[in-house]
Every structure is written in C-alpha cells, then in structure tokens.
Chain A
Amino acid sequence: EAQVTQNPRYLITVTGKKLTVTCSQNMNHEYMSWYRQDPGLGLRQIYYSMNVEVTDKGDVPEGYKVSRKEKRNFPLILESPSPNQTSLYFCASRETELSNQPQHFGDGTRLSIL
C-alpha cells in the first residue's frame, strides 16, 4: 500500500530538547516536503526536497532542519524546540517536482513543546 509514514504521531516535550520527526514514503517519490498546520493559518510549508541531497526552505523554515540522505526518508529536526513550534506537522510526497499528481500526506504528528 502506498503511504507516507510519520513518527511519532504525538509528542510532548520540553523547550530545548532536540527532537526528530521521521517521515518515510514507499512510492519512490522524488519530491518530499514538511508542513505545519496552525488554527486559522492553514498549512504552511517548512522545507521541501526535490531529490536526494537537495533541500530548500519553504515559508516558515526558522527553527527547523531537514536532511535527505535517502530517497525514502525526510526527517524534520528541531535542534532546540520552543513553545511556538507547538503545532500539527504533516509530511508529504509527490512523484516529482513537476508532476501534476497530488501530494500524498502522512497522518500528522502533533507536537507540544512545554
């Protein structure tokens, strides 16, 4: 089954404690991205990757890092989380940057930073 898998689904942690949210897709997609969803703001892109070792900033990259060492994985790293990063996070993938096919979304990761 084609899917995008995020882990963990829920996490409560404290300010400053580094955390990583993993994202994996099994569709051999080149394009992957991370979004955060906040009430009244919709989804905003954090980072995206057009292929292995190619990443770029989205609209709200501050406080986040990503890496794309393998095609299937695109982890989101919060080196020093702060309460304003409390949010619902979605990973998504698409076949390629140019593809007109819709993105596949993961089920989301709800992060609470205390």
Chain B
Amino acid sequence: AQSVTQPDIHITVSEGASLELRCNYSYGATPYLFWYVQSPGQGLQLLLKYFSGDTLVQGIKGFEAEFKRSQSSFNLRKPSVHWSDAAEYFCAVKLVRGSTLGRLYFGRGTQLTVWP
C-alpha cells in the first residue's frame, strides 16, 4: 500500500542542537515531496519541496532536506534549532502518475519540542 511514514512521533532537542526529522515513502515512482510545519493553532506552512534535480533542497527558516532515492527517504534537517522551531512537522508526497495525481498524502506528523 502507498504510504508516508514519519517514524518519530515526538522529538525533543535542546536549543542550538542539530535536528533531523525522518520521512519515508512507499510509491512506485519518485513522487513530489514536501515538508510542512504547523505551529500551535496555526495552519500549514510550506518549508520546502523537491521535484527533481539536486537532491539537497533548501527551504525557509534555515531548513534543508535531502532526497535519497535508494532509501525512499526525504529527511528534514536543521543545523541549529531555535526555540521558535517548536511545532509539528508533516512530510507529504504527491504522486506523479496514477489516478490520484492531485492528492497530497501526509505522514502522521512529528511533534518537535525545544528545550531552552
């Protein structure tokens, strides 16, 4: 079955520490890949996206993500976390072929807590 997996439900890091949030997908072809962030009480904000080309993509707020085809992964990273990064993060994929081209499939989210 097609799926998007975020294996970490909750991650806690200290401010200034590095961060990596994992995302794996299971689809036949490389989909379009996205990371969204949701701050408490807010909607979803796009952090970054990958369609093709350079497998390391830069996003807003100092985030980056690396697409690894061999591992079907699209992990989100940040070298130094700020307290304002505390939020919930969602990985999402959009298929590039098939009957449901328009749909976004979301992972279950990873809640990030940042200690001062």
Interface residues of A (CB under 8 A from B): 31, 33, 35, 40-45, 48, 50, 58, 90, 92, 94, 96-98, 100, 102-103, 105-108
Looking across the interface, which residue of chain B has its beta carbon closest to that of A103?
B104
Give B99's nearest chain A residue, CB to CB.
Answer: A56
Choose one: B44, B49, B51, B109; the contact of A90 (CB below 8 Å): B44
15 A-B residue pairs with Cβ-Cβ distance under 8 Å, sorted by A, are A33-B102, A35-B106, A40-B9, A41-B108, A42-B106, A43-B92, A44-B106, A48-B103, A90-B44, A97-B101, A100-B32, A102-B46, A105-B43, A105-B44, A107-B43
Interface residues of B in 71-100 (CB under 8 A from A): 90, 92, 94
Interface size class of B (residues with CB under 8 A): 20 to 34
Closest to A45 in B: B103
Q: DSSP class of B's interface residues: helix, strand, loop or mixed?
A: loop
Most A C-beta atoms less than 10 A away, residue of B32, B44, B46, B103: B44
Q: CA of A43 to CA of B34 in the docked complex: distance in angstroms? A: 14
Residues of B within 8 A of A92 (CB): 104
By a CB distance below 8 angstroms, the chain A residues around B101 are 97-98
**In the assembly, what is the distance between CA of A22 and CA of B49, in Å?**
28
What 9 A-B pairs are tightest by C-beta distance, nearest first? A97-B102, A42-B108, A42-B106, A43-B106, A107-B43, A105-B44, A102-B46, A105-B43, A42-B109
